[in-house]
Amino acid sequence: MAIRTFWILFWLVVAIVATVVLIAQLWFPPQLPAIGQVAPPATEAILPLQPFRLPAEAHYQQVVTRPLFIADRRPEQAVKIEEPPPPPVEVEQKFDLIGVVIIAGRATALLRTRAPGSRVLRVRQGETTEGGWQLRSVVGNKVVLDKAGKTQEVDLVRPLAVPPRVDKPKVDKASHGKTDRSRKTGQMRNWARARVQRAARMNNESRPQNSFE
């Protein structure tokens, strides 16, 4: 009975104290400090934003000389890739049309390239040469060749005109012989005349001259 009375009194005292505290808070609320009395918060100086810059290459030299993801920690040797040689320059074939014949009802062109020592090719209409040129059409003395959109028209080669034969003037053998004999006779006469003149001059030089006292 005494214990029960104790607990009742204890809780009654607690309720009274709580009621008093609540009434005191309502009647006397806490006062905020004056604005001038509150110290401003400490501010830190904010530096301007600096642009990002990578470190110097020497900073990463160790990473280059001793790479992490290679077992022996040695850099791999650079593989030299050889550039492929440039494609050969294709020389466009030029043809000469030697003639046009009809074989089995089909027009056949006799073509020859302008390369030295080339042979004559027989190409029928619609066929293709070794160089890839197709004989598309034959029109009179002209053929049309086609290759990858390129067109080449070849006219028939005209043979060179043979110059007329010039006959040499006929020479009369009799008159020619007479002329030779006359020329030789004249030469002999001149030679004999020169000998006579020379002998006379030598004779005059050897004759003694008369002196008059």
Cβ-Cβ contacts under 8 Å for 139 (sequence gap 6 or more):
none
**pLDDT at 37 exceeding the cut of 70:** no
Hey, what CATH topology would domain 95-155 get?
Answer: SH3 type barrels. (2.30.30)
**pLDDT at 188 exceeding the cut of 50:** yes
Strand boundaries in 40-195, DSSP class E: 95-103, 106-113, 120-124, 134-139, 142-147, 150-155
Model pLDDT for residues 76-115, shown as the tens digit of each residue = 777 788 888 887 766 677 888 888 888 777 888 888 888 8
Model pLDDT for residues 57-77, shown as the tens digit of each residue = 787 788 778 887 887 778 777
Q: Say whether 162 sits in a helix, a strand or coil.
A: coil
**pLDDT at 147 exceeding the cut of 80:** yes
**pLDDT at 136 exceeding the cut of 60:** yes
Model pLDDT for residues 159-168, shown as the tens digit of each residue = 655 556 666 6
What pLDDT does 210 receive?
43
Q: Which residue has the higher pLDDT, 51 or 40?
A: 51
What pLDDT does 211 receive?
40
Domain boundaries, the chain: 95-155
Q: Is the pTM of this model over 0.85?
A: no
Q: Order of strands, edge to edge, in the sheet holding 142-147? A: 134-139, 142-147, 150-155
What pLDDT does 213 receive?
38
